[in-house]
Each structure stands twice: as C-alpha cells, then as structure tokens.
Amino acid sequence: GILISGPEVLEATRALDTVVFDKTGTVTTGVMDVVQIVAVRDDAVDQVLLRAGAVEDLAEHPVAQAIARRATAARGDTAHSVVLPSVTNFLATPGAGATAMLEGLQVVVGRPDWVAATVGDDSFAVPTPMRDLTATLVAVGWDGAVRGVLAVRDTVRPSSAQAIADLKALGLQPVLLSGDRDEVAREVAAQVGIDQVRSQVHPEDKVAAISQMQSAGGVVAMVGDGVNDAAALATADLGVAMGTGSDAAIAASDITLVRSDLAAVVTAVALSRVTLRVIKQNLGWAFGYNIAMVPLAAFGMITPMLAGAAMALSSVSVVVNSLRLNRLRLP
C-alpha cells in the first residue's frame, strides 16, 4: 500500500528527524459532519445552508463536501434530497474558502475572518454559542454582510495515536500544522500525542514553517492530502500524500499511501531505512568480496572454475540478504 517515486526517497529517510502533519483528512478521517448552524442576521438557517452548499458543492475540501452533503439532505436526513441552485464564476482560494455568483449575488464561504473581510463586514463576531465549540467554523456571507456560521467536525483516525507513538520510537518529532482554529488543532493534537502545534496557518505559512525548520538544520517530512498541502509537500525533504487526497498533493509527493492510514507512514519510513541499510550491506559485501578475490584470480591462485563458482556465490549471497526484507516485521 505504499508507492515510492524513486530510489532517492530511500536516502531522504536516513537523516529524517521531523514529521509535519496536516490535520483534516490526514490525522483525522476527513469525513466531516455539520453539527450546528447559526444565522447571524435575519436570514433563515435553511437559506444560509442552501447557499453555502451550492458554493461548496464545487470544492474538493472535506469541509466543503460535508456542507454540500448536508445542504442536499432536507431537514438533515437523506430520505428527501434537495437540488442545489446553480452557481457561476466559482473561485476557490486555498486555505481561505470559495466564492461564486448565485442569484445575482456574490456568495462567500470559508474562514470567518476571510469571509468578513471579503464581504466588508467589519462588525462581524463569531456567535456566542459557537465560540466554545471544538469544531471547524465556516462563515457564509453575501451582500456586504456575514449571514451565518456553520460548525463542522470530524473524528481522529483510530490508528493515528499509535502511529505517532511509533514515529517517536523511531526518533522522529511530530508537528501538527493546521489552518483550523487553535482550540480544534490542540484538541486533536492532544488526542494523538503531538506536542508541537501551529494553528490558523495558510498554505504559504505551511511552506514558511517547513523552510524555517530546514534552516534550523532539520530534515523534514510533510504528510498531507489536500490542494492546500501541495506546496508544503514539494518544499519538504520528503513529501507523503494520502492516497485519497487531491491530485495536486499526490503529484507533489515523494511517497503516496494507497491506504489512508497513518500507520502506513511509519511503515514507509521504517521500510525505507531498512531497505537502504540492506543496499549498503550488499554493496559493501560485493566490493569487499571482489577486492579480495580479483587479485587471487589475477595471480592464478584459484582456477577459473573456482573463480566462476565464487562469483556466483557472491551474487546468491546478495539476493539472499535482500530476501530477508520479506521476513521483516514492520510497525
């Protein structure tokens, strides 16, 4: 379940000391649900949800998909579906949100601060009932004002905590980089055992954070799944993409995990390191063997038949040593 782009990836794992994780869809399942909707002004909750869903239906992010899915389900159940209105001029801004024209209005959906700035609503504040929620908040606005806020939440992958513990056992330092609210990012980090957290970061901030770690002498791997992570994956010394992620993330990565499980990250690092060690053993044995045997053959101290048998034995020993990888027990 691991696709490695080339042999240079094996070398990159040797000096690795830091693994940076995206949150949504990487540490968490990425299967999100809308848990609360609040209309900020006089607009109906149904209208806020419908317009948000119409815009988000064209976006790829798990948060957007959750909102679109909820909007198409009348009264919150899937028995009576709703047809979303058509939008035009859709534009996604990585790490912020999306805009589109709907019924003659520019509807803006995304991070509350970005939505408020985009629609020009200087008086907007997150509704009191939502301030203490450990959930991702998405605002919806049009016609010069923020009209509503949706709370979206997902769950931590069952294997994430053990995977983080295994990475620490390999001597690697995990770091969580998330565009989400600080409360949400820290709660997820606490659940899986990550101590270093940077929240409310934009895609360019992720790139800057990784570059800063590299400038400090770190060798950094980045694990992500979305379009927002593509630049960070390309910047890192080793980019690891979840197989269920976006095409941009997969294209920018060095390793693709076919199964969306952080345990595969541990397996990829451990297997790469062991494979590199076996390659070096084989090279050392082959060079040493030939350095010892070639002079003996040159001076006639062994017969050609014996020299041929010895060369075959050298090749067999390299193959047998490599086959030990089949019996390797990985995390």
Q: What is the pLDDT along the chain (331 residues), one digit of tens a residue?
A: 778 887 777 777 778 899 999 998 889 888 889 999 999 888 889 999 999 999 999 988 889 999 999 998 854 454 556 788 899 999 999 889 999 999 999 999 999 999 999 999 999 998 887 887 888 899 999 999 999 999 998 889 888 999 999 999 989 999 999 988 888 899 999 999 999 999 988 888 999 999 999 999 999 999 988 788 889 999 999 898 887 777 788 888 888 888 778 888 888 888 877 888 888 888 887 777 777 777 777 777 777 777 777 777 778 888 887 777 777 666 5
> CB-based contacts of 329: which residues, under 8 Å, 6+ apart?
none
Catalytic positions are 22
**Could you tell me the two tokens for 307?**
């020299």
Q: State the Cα–Cα distance between residues 54 and 239, nearest whole angstrom.
A: 33
Domain extents for the chain? Answer: 1-28+156-331, 33-153
Virtual torsion, Cα 117, 118, 121, 126, nearest 10 deg: -60
Q: Estimate the share of the chain in helix, then strand, then coil, as percent rounded to the nearest 5.
A: 50, 20, 30
Q: State the Cα–Cα distance between residues 172 and 221, nearest whole angstrom.
A: 10
Burial of 129 (0-12, 13-18, 19+ CB in 10 A): exposed
Task: For residue 2, list its beta bridge partners.
Answer: 257
Q: Domain 33-153 has what CATH class?
A: alpha beta
Report the candidate in 202, 206, 252 with the shortest Cα–Cα distance to residue 225: 252
Cβ atoms of 109 and 115 within 8 Å: the answer is yes
Does this model's pTM top 0.85?
Answer: no
Domain 1-28+156-331 falls under CATH 3.40.50.1000: yes
Q: What is the DSSP string of 281-326?
A: HHHHHHHHHHHHHHHHHHTTSS-HHHHHHHHHHHHHHHHHHHHGGG
